[in-house]
Amino acid sequence: MLDMSVLDTHPADAFANDRKHVFHSWSAQAALNPVVISRAQGSEFWTEDGTRYLDFSSQLVNVNIGHQHPKLVNAIKEYADKLCTVAPFHANDARSEAARLIVEVAATNLPDSDLNMVFFTNGGAEATENAVRMARLHTGRNKVLNHYRSYHGATNGAITLTGDPRRWPSEPGMPGVVKFWGPYAYRSAFHSDSEEQESERALRHLDDVLMVEGAHTVAAIIIETVVGTNGILVPPPGYLEGIRERCDRHGILMICDEVMAGFGRCGEWFAFQKWGVQPDLVCFAKGVNSGYLPLGGVVISDKVSASFRDKAFPGGLTYSGHPLACASAVASINIFKEEGIIEHARSLGADVIAPGLEKLQANHPSVGEVRGLGVFWALDLVKDRATREPLAPYNAAGADAKPMLDLAAACKAKGLWPFTHFNRLHVCPPCTTSVDQVEEGLAILDEALTVADQFYTG
């Protein structure tokens, strides 16, 4: 609880002042009715009136270590006593150690990793912006290719990269961005009928796009290694390897956006490690310190950083490598190692969440597909399993969105905070969630999905 000397407003004013003075993201302000959160612990949080929620969304899929980890909170307090801020051009022990640790974990499963430097940002959008800037300057090319069904942030370049409707109001945005279809076997753009075929056809489609765009004009291909908000799309066999091969063949940089997929979410430090594929640039944020303080960045391979050895990199941020945020990243990475959090997330996925969600699929006709890994899962909900018609249409609003709104409301009424997007329910609890808590959440989903089933027409 905050000490009254720090925050001397009455808690009851939080809602009223929010509605009067806080302008919220992505929202028509008049319609909002936010719950007031007063405390949180591990995988749970409580509202001002004492209602408890099991956090199956990890807030915005970022609180990977769980809420209020005592060692992480203490590390921040200790470092705040030592040094709250320094300019980015000084050296600082917290920043140096955070960079060293991030580089160290980025090399997991990659014996020849040359991801050796880190440019720090305040979050994910600035990471994708700066990765693209580096790629363009390194290659001397302008074009950037990326997937439909993706999210890369909300600043001008990052929202242009984004392959979902959040981009539309900001178009035309940054010049030089070209979209292509990534793999999604359940709703294939290529009419394929297996994961293998989907991978092969998606790569052939990419070849066609490279041909007509001119591969020699392309600076980078940026992908979410495992697509997050747009569906938890795990790359099929050979896909990441295929992207890597095409990048090498055409002198294009491969950028993996691991803002959501990284730091334990997929049961790995970084998701690309699962496939043994090394990108040239890696974007991170969220799970690096679970959002206890704002932090993100780009991990940079030697070949890219060499371009800026004798030539200035034209980018910077007042808070690049903020010492307090970096101290929290150091503490968080060390806690992950001490407590085996990566391994826990991996086994929660394989041994508890996967079989639990498969049972839900068996019980509920509206669950069309279950997919994911680690603590990163989606239920693709349908009106009809045969046609795979989504339970709510793409980008549904108003009455069309009712099935998903009702489902979310049913989860909340039973004490589970869900993550929903379009026709999907995502299961993304903190990496530290206990088996009992996951089972509690799955039992709530089992009840709540009866609401989705009422919209089933198949």
Ligand X SMILES: Cc1ncc(COP(=O)(O)O)c(C=O)c1O
**Region of 37-45, 82-90, 141-149, 253-261 interacting with ligand X (CB under 6 A):** 253-261
Query: CB nearest ligand X: which residue?
Result: 124
At closest approach, how far in Å is the CB of 329 from ligand X?
A: 14
CB of 124 to ligand X, least distance (A): 2
Please identify which residue in the block is written with the tokens 């991801």: 115
Q: Is 376 in the site for ligand X (CB under 6 A)?
A: no
Of the candidates 151, 263, 377, 422, which one interacts with ligand X according to CB under 6 A? 151
Q: Sign (positive/negative) of CA torsion 216, 220, 221, 225?
A: positive
CA distances 107 to 100, 181, 246, 276, Å, are 11, 29, 22, 10
Write b or e for each residue in 87-104: b if 16 or more Cβ atoms lie within 10 A of its Cβ, otherwise e. eeeeebebbebbbebbbe
Please identify, among the stretches 71-79, 252-260, 265-273, 450-458, the one whose residues bind ligand X according to the rule CB under 6 A.
252-260
Distance separating alpha carbons of residues 456 and 448, to the nearest angstrom: 14
Amino acid of residue 431 = C
Q: Does 229 bind ligand X (CB under 6 A)?
A: yes
Under rule CB under 6 A, which residues in 41-70 are in contact with ligand X?
60
Interaction pattern, residues 95-124, with ligand X; x per rule: CB under 6 A = ----------------------------xx
- In angstroms, the CA 154 to CA 32 distance is 20
Q: Which of 69, 95, 152, 265 binds ligand X (CB under 6 A)?
A: 152
What does the alpha-carbon distance between residue 70 and residue 335 come to, in Å, rounded to a whole number? 10
Which stretch, 34-42, 146-154, 271-279, 323-331, contacts ligand X (CB under 6 A)? Answer: 146-154
**354 contacts 371 by C-beta, under 8 angstroms:** no
Q: Which pair of tokens denotes residue 8?
A: 């001397």
Please tell me whether residue 235 binds ligand X under the rule CB under 6 A. no
Q: Is 260 in the site for ligand X (CB under 6 A)?
A: yes
Is residue 259 part of the contact set for ligand X (CB under 6 A)? yes
The DSSP code sequence of 342-364 is HHHHHHIIIIIIHHHHHHHHHH-
Least distance CB 298 / ligand X (angstroms): 12
Smallest separation, CB 169 to ligand X (Å): 17
Q: What residues line the site for ligand X (CB under 6 A)? A: 60, 123-125, 128, 151-153, 224, 228-229, 257, 259-260, 285, 296
